[in-house]
Structure 1
């Protein structure tokens, strides 16, 4: 059985590889079996969570297990053979989680966003923001990237411009929502980030950050204006 670290995953797996893998996984999802996320919380505030799936066409069964301590996540992924049941690989899952989540958004963006989308706006400046921008540039030739968030905005805009060759600039959250052709929210906000009236018709919105019932990034207006809603579960 192999063991791969976060660094090895980053070195071995490129963004385009992750997107191709997610396309294949979604295409065969109906053939597989999926386990909903299970969360267990202790009295000291430590949370242990797990989700899993079996994809027969890939010959893989796997589960991701992770802790949440003081708002920080640490992930491990375990893969098994769906033919023999033998354990195949254990991976540190932090780098993989960033790649996988962004790749899923990129597949959705490619299927649903306008082909002429020119402006990408990202609300949030953490790990997922850094994963999403290069992934989305794989599926649309954006002319500019707008960065909004609470901290680290200037550093992220400079990094995007320098490493990805696409002009990036810092804007307010409202400006990001109003100017975007594709808008990605990757925050832990407990309340809506902006007034849904700001969104232009035809904008593709990927609300990624909220994964619990007591948090949300979009308001009722944004949801009500949607031409269609697609949920990854």
Structure 2
């Protein structure tokens, strides 16, 4: 059975996705998931110039196993194509029987925002009232939707401030979502700051942050890529995956910041957080998140 994006969009919601992602993160940190590091190949065009990358992400968990193949071609945006595209194959663990093949683009988009929503629920200070978004693309929009679901204060007028290197795109997104387009210093001073940029060098500076802020860093996946400067990285660092961040996050590698805990450990009560001070959550994406979302989509369609 092939499941295209339109059918996925019909059944997949953040209300159903966020709880299963939360459990998947705890399962991962508890050692209940078999997931090797993702394999990444750089892609060159016919002239030998780098044009994108191609990654393979397998995982086994519960009664299923699966693999996502995903591509990232930044030049696609100039021709109206998505920069990220993916396919997910879902199989029965007990027999290896293929259950479904489905488009993975929307799943990747939504599971990324769902992970951030779980992180904000667990890590943001209780009194957090403002959300800063650095970026104005697909992930900026999906994060606004997911975070408003789990944090009611972000539904209030003027609580979300958006900055982008493209001011026009920031203004459009702000108008469409009821947010406010602002300068980067103002967006960075919010209680929760989400970075969803395509930056290769730091855009978020620690001197702009409030002392008790939570930074949710989603962009800049790559050992030489950064969104955050060294001062940001002096905060208490929580990883989606310790192995993934230590292997794939330039923000952590180049600043030599040490991961203090995995999010799944915090959720399970196996790691404690300091009562005060900045917290930084770094997300690089994991196969178990994709397989969990694909399992949910498959089960929802099977039940209809």
TM-score (norm 1): 0.91
Q: Shift of residue 27 of structure 1?
A: 2.2
Structure 1 stretch displaced more, 212-221 or 59-68:
59-68
DSSP 3-state at the match of 2:65: strand
Q: Shift of residue 70 of structure 1?
A: 4.2
DSSP 3-state at the match of 1:130: helix
Give 1:1-233 correspondences, 5 Å limit.
Answer: 2-29=1-28, 30-44=31-45, 45=50, 46-56=52-62, 59-71=63-75, 72-141=83-152, 142=154, 143=156, 144-151=159-166, 152-161=169-178, 168-178=179-189, 180-224=190-234, 226=235, 228-233=236-241
DSSP 3-state at the match of 1:187: coil
Match of 1:164 in 2: none
Q: Give the CA RMSD over aligned residues.
A: 1.3
Deviations 1:62-100 (A, max 9, x none): 111022334422111111111111111111111111110
Contiguous gaps of at least 5 residues in structure 1: 162-167
Whether the aligned pair in 2 keeps the contact of 1:98 and 1:127 (CA below 8 Å) is yes
- The alignment covers a number of residue pairs equal to 221
Whether the aligned pair in 2 keeps the contact of 1:188 and 1:215 (CA below 8 Å) is no
Query: Residue 132 and residue 70 in structure 1: after superposition, are their counterparts in 2 closer, same or farther (change >3 A)?
Result: closer
Q: Shift of residue 15 of structure 1?
A: 1.2
Whether the aligned pair in 1 keeps the contact of 2:134 and 2:195 (CA below 8 Å) is yes
Q: Which has the higher contact order (CA 8 A, sep 6+)?
A: 2
Deviations 1:101-134 (A, max 9, x none): 0000111110100122110110001111111111
Whether the aligned pair in 2 keeps the contact of 1:115 and 1:140 (CA below 8 Å) is no
| Partner Cα separation in structure 2 for residue 48 and residue 202 of structure 1 | 38
Q: Which has the higher helix share?
A: 2
Q: Stretches of 4+ moved more than 6 A in 1? A: none
Query: Residue 40 and residue 135 in structure 1: after superposition, are their counterparts in 2 closer, same or farther (change >3 A)?
Result: same
Q: Which has the higher strand share?
A: 1
Contiguous gaps of at least 5 residues in structure 2: 76-82, 242-304
| Partner Cα separation in structure 1 for residue 188 and residue 90 of structure 2 | 39
| Partner Cα separation in structure 2 for residue 200 and residue 63 of structure 1 | 40
DSSP 3-state at the match of 1:36: coil
DSSP 3-state at the match of 2:35: strand
Query: Residue 194 and residue 68 in structure 1: after superposition, are their counterparts in 2 closer, same or farther (change >3 A)?
Result: closer
Q: Shift of residue 21 of structure 1?
A: 1.5
